[in-house]
Amino acid sequence: MNVLVTGAAGFIGFHTAQRLLSDGYSVVGLDNFNSYYDPDLKDARWKILSKSGQFQGVRMDIADRTNLDALFKDIKPTQVVHLAAQAGVRHSVSHPHDYADANLIGMLNILEGCRHSQVDHLVYASSSSIYGANTAMPFSEHHSAAHPISLYAATKQANESMAHAYAHLYKFPATGLRFFTVYGPWGRPDMALFMFTKAILAGEPIPVFNDGNLARDFTYIDDIVEGVVRVLTRPAAQNPAWIGAPADPATSGVAPHNVFNIGCGNPVKLMDFISILEKALDRKAIVNFQPMQAGDVEQTWCDVTALEAAVGYRPAVSIEEGVSSFVDWYRAFYNT
């Protein structure tokens, strides 16, 4: 199996590529090494992947249609795990064009590559952010996701629609995975766990939005990767029981396209999360309460029953275990 993993120098892409390599796959990793966060962290991940003789690294932007088309023709991937994207809800408020380039044009280019290469399966990253203004809990793939409240979420919603259209038109299987607040070793510096850890160890205050009245369904990176790998080996199929009125957004009767949540199914209050981190660091946080930020939601909560039914797996790593693992990695990597 020759798998193309986009965003391979990123947090989830790095871990996914590592797992595929350990499972015996040949992996072509693609990343543009943009400066959204410290490129040195991406370089460190890349160097680890490059130690494998089964890894081919390509530095390229998915918005570069000409070179991406040439890459697909050259490597002829059997499967694609598309994880490259411009991430960050808050960044999308101030830098909207970054999201159009990476998440819309980039996704279109990936879909075109899959179409012409006739891949066996495209697995692509969506996000829990697409649930937006929906307040029905827990979030289910069968719920409407028609009211995104950030441009980032809107691009992820568009990705699902684009993938469904291509799966229908060109009959290649595509599966979207809605990730819920991924954390763990080698994580992104713009995420709360990374920022809080850095600030607490430096004796600096941490920003806590909405006066701490937030909850997130934190999902450990190994649980995310396990879900990705299991889904990858089970190509999406049309649902023979699907009907168009009312239409179920999680499956399709006209295209081999599915959507799954991947999350723990256990929302953690932000202040409890901070307490768990304080214990792992053996330090107290200096909390700076701030108002709600544009584009944020108060709570996420994942219904993971569809994933469990489809692939026989549900995330299991506790928040205490996951935070401890991250802290151990952070202290070792940054020598703190």
Pairing of strands 219-220, 286-290: unpaired
Q: How far apart are CA 161 and CA 301, in angstroms?
A: 23
Amino acid in the structure at residue 267: P
For residue 144 the two structure tokens come to 């409407």
| Residue tagged active-site, from 152, 166, 183, 330 | 152
**25 labelled catalytic:** no
Q: State the Cα–Cα distance between residues 42 and 11, nearest whole angstrom.
A: 8
d(CA 265, CA 301): 6
Q: Could you tell me which of 236, 232, 323 has the C-alpha nearest to residue 279?
A: 323
Longest Cα separation, the chain: 58
Q: How far is CA 160 from CA 17, 106, 157, 331, in A?
A: 23, 13, 5, 38
Q: Determine if residue 184 is left, alpha or beta; phi over 0 gives left, psi from -120 to 50 gives alpha, anything else beta.
A: left
Query: Residue 36 carries which DSSP code?
Result: S
Yes or no: say if 289 and 208 are a contact pair by the CB < 8 Å rule.
Answer: yes
Residues annotated as part of the active site:
152
